[in-house]
Chain A
Amino acid sequence: AQSVTQLDSQVPVFEEAPVELRCNYSSSVSVYLFWYVQYPNQGLQLLLKYLSGSTLVESINGFEAEFNKSQTSFHLRKPSVHISDTAEYFCAVSEVANSGYALNFGKGTSLLVTP
């Protein structure tokens, strides 16, 4: 079974600075990868996902993530963050060979953007 590791539980960053939220997974088979975001007092929302094709995927609000098969990583990046990006970010994996369809989530990274 796959597991997901989000290496940083908290990431403080100043507004307009770049940020990288790290995600590694352990699986020897094909996977689909997701990043979800949870804004304060709101539900989880899909930010972006990698299914196949180009290893670089982008969201509408400037985030991007790159699937790196050799390093089993799917790090999330943004070149310039806003105060409104403050939220909890979850990386998730769905293993193609798994009989179930549940997402396996990391423990989350809390991004705190300050002026």
Chain B
Amino acid sequence: GAGVSQSPSNKVTEKGKDVELRCDPISGHTALYWYRQSLGQGLEFLIYFQGNSAPDKSGLPSDRFSAERTGGSVSTLTIQRTQQEDSAVYLCASSLATVRTDTQYFGPGTRLTVL
């Protein structure tokens, strides 16, 4: 079956612009996670969704970052007024349920470059 998909695969933007990153989880997966992968920082957790609600937003680095999920499926990560330090690969993952033992399946990522 289809895996987790993300779009766009690459995004180049100018400093100060807003960007939206999209994630389509595996069909039927109720849990959805956003991570950020950058040089020197490794993989950092940003936010996760259980259904449409986000119980844990602790990883969002600033109030310029927000995310939503609609219909228990697609999620959008929005970064407002982008800064150069936002440049990274943004990864989305989904799992069948919000159970710690469930495998998280990752998408290919969106590479964001802020000029």
* Chain A residues packing against B (C-beta within 8 Å): 32, 36, 42-46, 49, 51, 90, 92, 94, 96, 99-108
Contact for A108 among B4, B42, B45, B99, CB less than 8 A: B42
Nearest 5 A-B pairs (CB), nearest first?
A102-B45, A107-B42, A105-B43, A44-B106, A100-B56
On chain A, the residues within 8 Å of B45 by CB distance are 100, 102-104
- Residues of chain A with a CB closer than 8 A to B58's CB: 100
Contacts of B105 in A (CB 8 A): 46
> Within the assembled complex, what's the spacing in Å between the Cα atoms of A83 and B33?
32
CB neighbours of B59 from chain A (8 A): 102
Chain A residues with CB below 8 A from B31, complex form: 101
- Residues in chain A near residue B43, CB distance under 8 A: 90, 92, 103, 105, 108
- Extra contacts, 4 of them, besides A46-B105, A101-B100, A107-B42 (Cβ < 8 A), are A43-B108, A94-B100, A100-B58, A101-B33
The answer on a CB contact under 8 Å between B100 and A45 is no
Report 25 cross-chain contacts, Cβ distance below 8 Å, ordered by A residue. Answer: A32-B101, A36-B106, A43-B4, A43-B91, A43-B108, A44-B91, A45-B106, A46-B105, A49-B103, A51-B101, A90-B43, A92-B43, A96-B100, A99-B56, A100-B45, A100-B56, A101-B33, A102-B33, A102-B56, A105-B42, A105-B44, A106-B42, A107-B41, A107-B42, A108-B43
